[in-house]
Structure formats: C-alpha cells, structure tokens
Amino acid sequence: MPRQLYFDTPDAFLEELRAQLNAGIPRRRLRARLPFHLHEAEELLIGRPSRLRYFALGGGLAGFGGGFLLAMLTSVDWPIVTGGKPIVSVPPFLLIGYLLTILIGSLSCFAGFLWLSRLPDPGPLVSDDPFDPRFVLTINDEEAS
Amino acid sequence: MNNDISAPQVETDVLTAMRRPGPAWLTGLGLAGLLFAGGLALWAYQIMHGMGVAGITHPVGWGVYITDFVFWVGIAHSGTLISAVLFIFRARFRTSFNRAAEAMTIFALMVAGLFPLIHLGRVWRFYYLFPYPNQRQLWVNFRSPLIWDVFAVSTYFLVSLVFFYVGLMPDLAIAARHRSGRAGKLYRILSLGWTGNLRQWRHYGRLYMFLAAFATPLVASVHSIVSWDFAVSIIPGWHTTIFAPYFVAGAIFSGTAMVLTLVIPMRRVLNLQEHIPIDHIEAIAKILLLTSLIVGFSYVIEHGMAFYGENLFEMEQFRFRALGHYSLLFWIMIMCNAVLPLLLFIRRLRRSLAFLFVLSLLVNVGMWLERFVIVVCSLARDFDPYNWGNYLPSPVECGITLGSFGLFFAAFLVFVKTLPVLSITELKER
C-alpha cells in the first residue's frame, strides 16, 4: 500500500522529503503534490531542468522565420512598389518576424507545457480528485513504482 | 508583507469576494450594460447610415475613434508591466494587482480592437486586414504601419490571454474545491484537471517564466508600433523620433492610473484590505509618478524641439496646440498629466486612497485628451492653410466612446464575481 504523508508547511514537507531520500528511498518511489511550486522539491526529486525551453526556442525561431518569410514571399509574389520602398523591405519585415517570434514562441510554450505535464487530464475530473491545499508526499511500494 | 495571513484564510477571503453580488454591483453592471447597449445601437446606426453620421471628414479624417483606439491600447500596457515585468524583477507588491491588471489588459484590448473596425466603416470587410490566400490574389502591404498594428495588437491580445489563463489554472482548481454543483464542475474543467503534482508545477514554473519573458518586450513594442501609425507619416506634430518612447511612457502612465481606478473600489467593496496593503498601493503610485515625469518631460521636449528646429510647420503646429482652437483641451491635459501628479511627491498623498482615486480619474481624462490633441490638432493644421479645418465629434462618436467604457467596466464587473481577483497561489507563496 502506498503511504501518504500530509504537511501544512513547506519546511515540514521538505524536511520529511530529505529524510526519506537520506534513508535510501529511491526518487522513483516518491510522488509529491504541492499547493505551490517549490524549487527545492524539484531539485531533490527530479534534478534536471524542464524540457520546455526547447519549445520556447523552437517556437520563437519558427515564428521569426515564418513571419519574415510570410512578408517577403507575399511581397515577391505580387511585386508592387509602395512608398518608393524596395520590394523586400527588410526593416518592416523584421518587425513582423519579431511579433511572430513572440506569438508563436508563447503559443508553442503553452502547447509544450500541456504536452509535458499531461494536461488536460480527465482522470481527476472523473474520479473527483481535488487540488489539495496541503503538501502531500506519497511513498509507493517497490513493486508499484 | 502580510505573511501572517494563513493559507486557508487567503482562500476563503478571495473566494468569498466572488459570492453573492450586492446591490452596488448590480447597479454598476446595469449602468455599464446600458452604456454598452447604447454604444452598440449607435454603431448599428452608423453602419446603416454610413460614416457621414460621424464627425470625421476632410481634413480631420482621424478623430475620436482613433483616439479611443490609442487610449485603450495604452490602458492595456500597465497590465503587462505589472504581470510580466514586475515578475521578472521579483517585485513582491505585484501579487496585489497582477490578476486584476491582467484582466484589465484583456478587456482593454477587446475594446481597443473594436475601434479600427468601427472606424473602418464597412466593417464586414475587416478580414481584408489579414494576410490570407484569396481569389483576388492580393496580399496585405507589410510596409504599412496599419498592418504592423494588426500584428502587434493581435499578438498582444493572444499572448496576454494565454498569460492570464495560465496564471488562473491553479486558482480555478482551488475555486472548484470550494464550489459544489455545476459551478464547481465548470471550474474543474477549466482548470484542465490540475492536481498540483510535481510534474505539473515544474513545467508550470518554467512556462510562467517564459511567458513573462515573451511578454516583456511587448510592453515596449506594442505602443511603439501604435505610435508609428503617426510618426511614419510626414504630418507636422506626428513626424518625430520621440514618438515611440513618448507613447510607451504615456501608455504605462494611463494604464497604471486605470489599475488604481479599478483596484481602489474593488479592494473596499470586496473587503480585500488585508491582501492589498497600502504599501503596495503606494508602490503603484510611485510608478504613476515616474511615468508622469517622463510624460511631462516628453511634452517639454516635443515643444522645445519644435521651436529649436526652426521648421515653420512644426512651430505653427505646436503654437496651435497650446494657443489655438483646442487650447483648452491642451491645458487640461498638461494639468492632469504633468502638474497634478507632482503632488505624489508628498508621501501622505501617495498613501491617501481618496486622493489616488480622484487623481487616477483625472489622469485618465488627461491621457484621453492627450491622444485627442495629438490626433486631431495635427490633421486640423497641416502644411497648407487652404487645407485647414476644425473638427467637432458628433453625438454618435461620443456615444460610441461612452459605450466602450460601458463594455470595459461591465467586463471587469463580471470578472470580479466569476474569477478569483487575486492570485491565491501566489499569495500563499508570499
């Protein structure tokens, strides 16, 4: 049977977590639920940074390239001189690239977050599993983990 | 800091604020709804009868609608400043305002986005603004500042919406726990099944940081791009290089004032005095003071450069602003934006809620007038005296403007009763 321990304060929770790890319980047997993010818990239980940064980088680059290319290729597609400016007017096209860097970067980060944290999760909705206001440390059995 | 308030207390206080709307709320919503309905009816009237019912005509083709657009986009800015920039700088007073300010950003942008459409006349052609493969094989002109605007404002709206929603997710799960029945179910679904396990928090923390980092440059860029609608032209009074920083400072100034206009009554009506301490309101008042100084400095520079530059048209334009047909509006603007906020140097006034509330209203009046003076004066007196002419807003334009305030306040009133007005999770963390 998995054991569940409840704590009201982050300090008590972290103290217990450290004690469990020091007692030789492997990380994979420990599960945590928190009312707010604790970086220490992340370091103790996972210890590597989130992969979300690749989504930020990928989305940002795709947005920049896509925005610039959109402006450039549509101008080349029907080359008409307006305001005496060159057909490929780099400064204003960079602006479109810049704005789409932010837009696509943010949206891809959000999508990446949903993917990495397995949301939306219908499980808690069906089983009526609420967001606990306390710090919960679950210690799984060897075979269950 | 108010670390002495326990976590369950934070939850109950914030969620109690969402319960049982009182008569004041209902009256407010009724009034705002009426204003909005009036504005909508006038817009329908304008669509039926054509743009002739608006006062804009030759030579002033940009009037109250463009003024309103610039004003509302400006209001949106301080929301992002508070939620993203202050997050990156780890300013602790941010938690008292961020949720309300983010909601304000969304509503202000919704309202702002309507004005180019209202100004468009043939609103059913609005989609011509977007680049899409069409039968006419035409694309939008990416060299036009008006298209930069389309991209800037829609990017700003979508990024702010995602930022607002992400901030809400854990709080929606808390609200679901406190509510039973259908409302509880709905909050639970909107929270996407958030349980607060470490995997969720870990990516959430990174997401919030990335979104703040993506949104921060928008604070500077969106109103810069709006200012280029003017500065890229050659009209005297518009064609200046200081326009971008001048507009950004003005945007943060007016937005900060709007935060105070909304939060001071909200704090009192919803009994949130303990969670929004006076020290934090004072911090916002300091931002108001700083941006007022920048705006005042811009006025001096703008006029100083016009006279120093010896450009006849530029000089005449700035003489006209201060002494011509619209001089009354100009001096009210100077009073509200550059003179009265100097009183914030006095600590006692910075901490007086009544003073701050009245000042915030005056600053909003002043900032609306600033946009009016910039937009209208330059068009009313350009190069050729044969081309001069004064503009008076028509009742339709005034009604639609009032309607926009109705929509904004109605949306905010609905927000305070349906979503947690403070970030419960961040207050607990504090």
Instruction: Verify whether the Cβ–Cβ distance B162 to A110 is below 8 Å.
Output: yes
Residues B64 and B393: their CA atoms lie apart, in Å, by 7
pLDDT in tens, B302-345: 999 999 988 999 999 999 999 999 999 999 999 999 999 999 99
Res. B430: pLDDT tops 80: no
Q: How many beta-carbon contacts under 8 Å exist across A and B? A: 177
Environment class of residue B293 by beta-carbon count within 10 Å: exposed (0-12), middle (13-18) or buried (19+)?
A: middle
Partners of residue B214 in chain A, C-beta under 8 Å: 56, 60, 102, 105-106, 109
Residues B296 and B275: their CA atoms lie apart, in Å, by 33
pLDDT in tens, B104-115: 999 999 999 999
- Name the minimum distance, in Å, from the CA of A42 to any CA of chain B: 7
Closest CB from B139, B158, B174 relative to A74: B139
A139 touches B at CB < 8 Å: no
Tell me the average pLDDT of chain A.
Answer: 90
Partners of residue A118 in chain B, C-beta under 8 Å: 199
- Name the minimum distance, in Å, from the CA of A18 to any CA of chain B: 16
What secondary structure does DSSP assign to B43-91, as a single string?
Answer: HHHHHHH-GGGSS-BTTB-S-HHHHHHHHHHHHHHHHHIIIIIHHHTT-
H or E segment at A136? strand A135-139
Residues B117 and B66: their CA atoms lie apart, in Å, by 10
| The token pair that represents B318 in the structure block | 């700035």
- pLDDT, residue B180, reads 83
Closest CB from A37, A107, A112 relative to B201: A37
Instruction: Verify whether the Cβ–Cβ distance B159 to A102 is below 8 Å.
Output: yes
Q: Which residues, numbered 40 to 59 in chain A, qualify as contacts with chain B under a Cβ-Cβ cut-off of 8 Å? A: 41-42, 45-46, 49-50, 52-53, 56
- pLDDT, residue B2, reads 47
- Name the minimum distance, in Å, from the CA of A35 to any CA of chain B: 6
- pLDDT, residue A26, reads 85
Partners of residue B200 in chain A, C-beta under 8 Å: 117, 119
Partners of residue B196 in chain A, C-beta under 8 Å: 33-35, 131-132
Instruction: Verify whether the Cβ–Cβ distance B203 to A131 is below 8 Å.
Output: no
- What is the share, in percent, of chain B residues with pLDDT greater than 70? 99
Instruction: Verify whether the Cβ–Cβ distance B201 to A36 is below 8 Å.
Output: yes
- pLDDT, residue B3, reads 52
- pLDDT, residue A143, reads 62
In a domain, B5, yes or no: no
Res. A145: pLDDT tops 80: no
In a domain, B211, yes or no: yes
Is residue B358 within 8 A of residue B261, CB to CB? The reply is no
Which residues partner with A5 through β-bridges? Answer: A137
Other C-beta atoms lying within 10 Å of the C-beta of residue B199? 18
Residues B119 and A127: their CA atoms lie apart, in Å, by 51
pLDDT in tens, B162-202: 999 999 999 999 999 888 888 889 999 999 999 999 999 99
Partners of residue A52 in chain B, C-beta under 8 Å: 203, 206-207, 210
Instruction: Verify whether the Cβ–Cβ distance B162 to A102 is below 8 Å.
Output: no
DSSP state of A138: E
Q: Range of B221's domain?
A: 56-392
Partners of residue B425 in chain A, C-beta under 8 Å: 35-36
Other C-beta atoms lying within 10 Å of the C-beta of residue B70? 28
- pLDDT, residue B1, reads 38
- pLDDT, residue A144, reads 53
Residues A63 and A15: their CA atoms lie apart, in Å, by 44
Confidence grade of residue B231 (pLDDT, cut at 50, 70, 90) = very high
Inter-CA distances, B53 with B67, B285, B392, Å: 17, 41, 12
- Name the minimum distance, in Å, from the CA of B363 to any CA of chain A: 30
Is residue B288 within 8 A of residue B264, CB to CB? The reply is no
Q: Which residues, numbered 68 to 127 in chain A, qualify as contacts with chain B under a Cβ-Cβ cut-off of 8 Å? A: 70-71, 74-75, 77-78, 82-83, 85, 89, 92-93, 95-96, 98-100, 102-103, 105-107, 109-110, 112-114, 116-125
> Which residue is it, tokens 């701050």?
B356
Residues B264 and B269: their CA atoms lie apart, in Å, by 9
In 3D space, the residue among B384, B232, B240, B365 whose CA is nearest the CA of residue B298 turns out to be B240
Closest CB from A42, A114, A122 relative to B198: A42
Closest CB from B196, B203, B207 relative to A35: B196
Environment class of residue B241 by beta-carbon count within 10 Å: exposed (0-12), middle (13-18) or buried (19+)?
A: exposed
Q: Cβ neighbours of residue A48 under 8 Å, at least 6 residues apart?
A: none
Q: What would you measure as the largest C-alpha separation in chain A, in angstroms?
A: 76
Instruction: Verify whether the Cβ–Cβ distance B194 to A131 is below 8 Å.
Output: yes
| The token pair that represents B292 in the structure block | 């007022």
Partners of residue A96 in chain B, C-beta under 8 Å: 142, 148, 151
Is residue B222 within 8 A of residue B73, CB to CB? The reply is yes
- What is the share, in percent, of chain B residues with pLDDT greater than 90? 79
Q: Does residue A24 or residue B346 have the better pLDDT?
A: B346
Residues B95 and B421: their CA atoms lie apart, in Å, by 10
| The token pair that represents B256 in the structure block | 């900060």
> Which residue is it, tokens 């269950």?
A144
Q: How many residues does chain A have?
A: 145
Residues B81 and B13: their CA atoms lie apart, in Å, by 26
CA–CA–CA angle B238, B240, B244 (5° rounding): 90
Residues B407 and B33: their CA atoms lie apart, in Å, by 7
Which residues partner with A6 through β-bridges? Answer: A136
- Please, what is the end-to-end C-alpha distance for chain B in angstroms? 8
H or E segment at B197? none
Residues B381 and B390: their CA atoms lie apart, in Å, by 8
Which residues partner with A142 through β-bridges? Answer: none
Is residue B142 within 8 A of residue A71, CB to CB? The reply is yes
In a domain, B170, yes or no: yes
| The token pair that represents B303 in the structure block | 């006029």
pLDDT in tens, B262-313: 999 999 988 899 889 999 999 999 999 999 999 999 999 999 999 998 899 9
Instruction: Verify whether the Cβ–Cβ distance A32 to B217 is below 8 Å.
Output: no
Residues B318 and B302: their CA atoms lie apart, in Å, by 8
Residues B211 and B200: their CA atoms lie apart, in Å, by 16
Q: Are strands A135-139 and A3-7 parallel, antiparallel or unpaired?
A: antiparallel
A33 touches B at CB < 8 Å: yes
pLDDT in tens, A54-101: 999 999 999 999 999 999 999 999 898 988 899 999 999 999 999 999
Question: Which residue of chain A is at minimal alpha-carbon distance from B152?
Answer: A99
Tell me the average pLDDT of chain B.
Answer: 93
The number of domains in chain B is: 1
User: Edge-to-edge strands of the sheet including A135-139?
Assistant: A3-7, A135-139, A30-33
| The token pair that represents B430 in the structure block | 């504090």
Instruction: Verify whether the Cβ–Cβ distance A53 to B206 is below 8 Å.
Output: yes
- pLDDT, residue B341, reads 97
Domain spans, chain A: 3-49+125-139, 52-116
Residues B301 and B308: their CA atoms lie apart, in Å, by 10
Partners of residue A129 in chain B, C-beta under 8 Å: 195
Closest CB from B139, B162, B170 relative to A78: B139
Query: What CATH number should be reported for the domain holding residue B100?
Result: 1.20.1630.10
Question: What value of ipTM does the predicted structure carry?
Answer: 0.93
- pLDDT, residue B33, reads 97
